[in-house]
Structure 1
Amino acid sequence: MPLATTTSSSISSYLHPRRRRNAVVAPRCEAAQREEIVIVGAGVAGLATAVSLRRLGVGATVLEQGAALRAGGTSLTLFKNGWRVLDAIGVADELRAKHLRIQGMKMRSASAAAATDVLREFSFEEEAPGQEVRAVERRALLEALASRLPPGAISFSSKLRRVAGQGGPDGATELELEDGRRIVARVVVGCDGVNSPIARWMGFSEPRYVGHMAFRGLARYDGDGAGGGQPFEAKVNYIYGRGLRAGFVPVSATRVYWFICFNRPTPGPKITDPAALKREALDLVRGWPEDLVAVMRDTPEDAVVRTPLVDRWLWPGLAPAASRGGVVLAGDAWHPMTPNLGQGACCALEDAVVLARRLAAAAGAAGSAAGASYGEAMREYERERWWRVFPLTARAGLVGALVQWGNPAVCAARDGVVIPRLVRLGPFLEHTNFDCGLLEPPATAAPLP
């Protein structure tokens, strides 16, 4: 049975929690709050896990350190495997209505000033039939997921201070929050992002900086093309230089997403001045094709971000387990990867469905056996997902290293031979054919209110 969705006014309450009439403010007292499943982090992985569990008849509490849903960020490119998950959890059609379907890809050299001077052009329909690609605004994705949860399911301003302890007769985990609250949960799902405190507590190393930085931005335009030009084609545009690459893709009728990836030995100091960030990005592509530069100029300063690119390779026998006691990781908290394959968000969505399916089956266990069932469910989730995420993380890192080379001879071979003659889109996108399956509630499961 499909779950009822909240109204647009409910979405506004997630973005502006002060407006929420039924917001639950936990009392600051000594007694610990008890929960069955707690998800730490209201990002893509956390919200998708909560929605997936709910569709299977299992409730969960989501802890978000911010005062509202994260409105920052730009967009996420979702491929066929990501849309399969969004279909399974019931938000795909809502997002499709707001975001353009991308029809193909165009690859150019930075020296090609004319937009018609291309190294290679692809049609998804011809090269990869059945592919679905859309650039989705991160905020829109989070809102769509949050709308499938009941009021109060997301506890805002709930920053984790530490994992306070594990054990007891039911194997529960105690979490201590910054505001002094304590929560005891049978299952804790760490979806707290690249710099996950839960991953550190479980023994994972810090994500590895790969030697590249990225600028990202979300431009606004009125449908006539940024800078007063022609309307944008529904294609991904890639532009390659030496140790530097950029690209842009239409998101909707009024938004276009762009990025720049550049080599840098260290991330360097953080820049907080939005105007300075935008100037630095424009300086990097001075003299590059004008359609890219025009898109960047039409970007509000507060819609430009700069981040280091990081990953973590889950080497067998060396990386810690994805679960410890009643705690398990999902999404970027477990397997951060570079964006070179466009699979970070897609894999987080896949994690959510697989983990929810395992936990929902374990939640059906009776009495004291439930703790043991949850532990086995987490181990099965890790076994199922490791074979998927480790090769993709490694492949994304290797692709990034290759396309970021600055050697003139290598770049000439790339532009003259590799891209025009050797690149095949179908095999390159084979990983997007992955299907992690549907969410089928057990016959005995009662729908949640």
Structure 2
Amino acid sequence: MLPKASSSNLLINSFLPPSPTLRKIAHLPNKLPHTTTQHGSRFICLSKKLSIDTQKEETVIVGGGIAGLSTAVALHRLGIRSLVLEQSESLRTGGTSLTLFKNGWSVLDALGVGNELRTQFLEIQGLNRTQTLPQRFIQDDNHQQHRLSIKTHEGKDLRSFDFKDVDPSQEVRAVERRILLQTLANQLHPDSLQFLSKLAKIEQDDATGETRLELTNGAQLSAQIVIGCDGIRSPIAKWMGFPEAKYAGHCAFRGLAYYPNGQPHEPRVSYIYGRGVRAGLVPVSPNKVYWFICYNSSNPGPKITDPSVLKRQALDMVKNWPSNLVSTIEQTPDDTISRTPLEDRWLWPAVTPPVSKGRVVLAGDAWHPMTPNLGQGGCCALEDAIVLAKKLGQAMKSRQGSTEDALRSYGQERWPRVFPLTIRANLVGALLQWENPVVCSLRNELVIPKLVQIRPLLEHTNFACEPL
């Protein structure tokens, strides 16, 4: 057990049961040989230390996702070592892709991995949008034109543009999540990543300011700084007093189609709007295409773990929709298909807790989960990483100001950015998910063609990111 601290602690075991693998590790003898697991072409530390002795660390990052790894890389480039704790056996290998706009790419450039990723993924030229009703879809004969096209179900063109026409500096690419994580991890020393490390308990010592972490395998750590990058269900955020993310009223099927002989789509995003249902196709690489179906639902429904069932459900939902959407779903390996509820958390001032508590701080989805309607979840996680690393670097290297001040400054800089984006993403989703035929007609005849200004829609991708 951990020594008793003067502040309250949170037992996380009650809702995060250890896996059989972790139970086995917990009963291994204290003196274990150094164990590694192969990850890609490199070997990454599986467990740095599993004895009952407390492992001392200056900076611990909980969570090996986009926010966690990008923060670790940013700190590493500033000469600051961190330890990343990841509860899984390896980096995430499943999942689909995420769309990164120019703000995300500016951060990846600062982290030194932008060009490596660019060579693997297509640059998206623009967007095609069509509106369809069940049984009444009319396909655009010019669907391969290099412009955005927003149409009604009758084929009326509502809007058209290219990303570069609106903003010459814009850059849009869909990136496979697993490759992004692998690329970031490759920038770190193998000992910086510790797998099979699920958080069981966290507590702060008010006397020393240190944070003590206990893992489900029995390992204990003491850290000067803890960065919670543990996702939308973050135990650290819960310990800090943040409410659970709220369901937005929509669920989404997602998948990554694979074409061994080359995918047939132009490098453009294709959106199809119905009543309460919308779908999208995003070319990722010469062989892969990401797709999604977002639909209204009063509740998330039961969790289904069989991807073949999810695939059938997705196909049933769009069986009368464009053939290119249906064929893309049919071309998708079952193990890439998922269905998730869309959730977010609005960071109301004076209501939600601050981003930091002592020397514990949050980043990414652990702090500001948002719906994917603006394509900014991953981009904002990258922004968090670069800003947080710079603030910590200044405090730790120059000794000007306390670490606590640096974390508060990070929150003060990031909150005006992420709070409005979270609300805006939610409202855009509500607009696109309308079901009433009269309201949908208003959306198609007035809102999209006459009221929506394209340039302001992309202004949120402006982010000044200086080199580290």
Common fold, TM-score beyond 0.5?
yes
Match of 2:236 in 1: 198
**Cα displacement (A) at 1:30:** 2.8
Match of 2:430 in 1: 401
- What residue identity is the alignment partner of 2:102? K
- What residue identity is the alignment partner of 1:253? P
RMSD of equivalent CA atoms: 1.8
- What residue identity is the alignment partner of 2:281? F
Once the two structures are superposed, what CA deviation does each residue of 1:370-403 show, in whole Å capped at 9, x if it has no partner?
9x71111100000000010001001001111111
- Cα distance in 2 for partners of 1:138, 1:384 equals 27
Identity %: 56
Match of 1:426 in 2: 455
Tell me the secondary structure at the aligned position of residue 39 of structure 2.
Answer: helix
Contact 1:251 1:257 in 2 (8 A): yes
Q: Is residue 65 of structure 1 aligned with residue 59 of structure 2? A: no
Q: Is residue 290 of structure 1 aligned with residue 323 of structure 2? A: yes
Match of 2:259 in 1: 221
* Equivalent residue runs for 1:68-217 within 5 Å: 68-110=90-132, 111-116=136-141, 117=155, 119-169=158-208, 171-217=209-255
Match of 1:376 in 2: 405
Match of 1:235 in 2: 268
**Cα displacement (A) at 1:239:** 0.3
Contact 1:243 1:263 in 2 (8 A): yes
Match of 1:6 in 2: none
Q: Is residue 278 of structure 1 aligned with residue 316 of structure 2? A: no
**Cα displacement (A) at 1:24:** 5.8
Q: Is residue 364 of structure 1 aligned with residue 397 of structure 2? A: yes
- What residue identity is the alignment partner of 2:323? E
Q: Is residue 301 of structure 1 aligned with residue 334 of structure 2? A: yes
Once the two structures are superposed, what CA deviation does each residue of 1:25-45 show, in whole Å capped at 9, x if it has no partner?
344333210000000000000
- What residue identity is the alignment partner of 1:52? A
Match of 2:31 in 1: none
Tell me the secondary structure at the aligned position of residue 404 of structure 2.
Answer: helix
* Equivalent residue runs for 1:280-359 within 5 Å: 280-359=313-392
- Cα distance in 2 for partners of 1:287, 1:235 equals 22
**Cα displacement (A) at 1:125:** 1.5
Contact 2:69 2:184 in 1 (8 A): yes
Tell me the secondary structure at the aligned position of residue 81 of structure 1.
Answer: helix
Contact 1:128 1:425 in 2 (8 A): no
Once the two structures are superposed, what CA deviation does each residue of 1:7-33 show, in whole Å capped at 9, x if it has no partner?
xxxx993359xx83x736344333210
Contact 1:218 1:258 in 2 (8 A): yes
Contact 2:47 2:195 in 1 (8 A): no
**TM-score, length-normalised on structure 1?**
0.89
Q: Paired residues, what number?
A: 416
Once the two structures are superposed, what CA deviation does each residue of 1:222-277 show, in whole Å capped at 9, x if it has no partner?
4554xxxxx31111100000000000010000000000100001101100111110
- Cα distance in 2 for partners of 1:115, 1:303 equals 29
- Cα distance in 2 for partners of 1:87, 1:165 equals 36
**Cα displacement (A) at 1:415:** 2.3
**TM-score, length-normalised on structure 2?**
0.86
Once the two structures are superposed, what CA deviation does each residue of 1:95-150 show, in whole Å capped at 9, x if it has no partner?
10000000001110124332334543321111222110000000110011000001
- What residue identity is the alignment partner of 1:67? E
Contact 2:37 2:46 in 1 (8 A): no
Tell me the secondary structure at the aligned position of residue 13 of structure 1.
Answer: strand
Contact 1:48 1:352 in 2 (8 A): yes
Tell me the secondary structure at the aligned position of residue 429 of structure 1.
Answer: helix
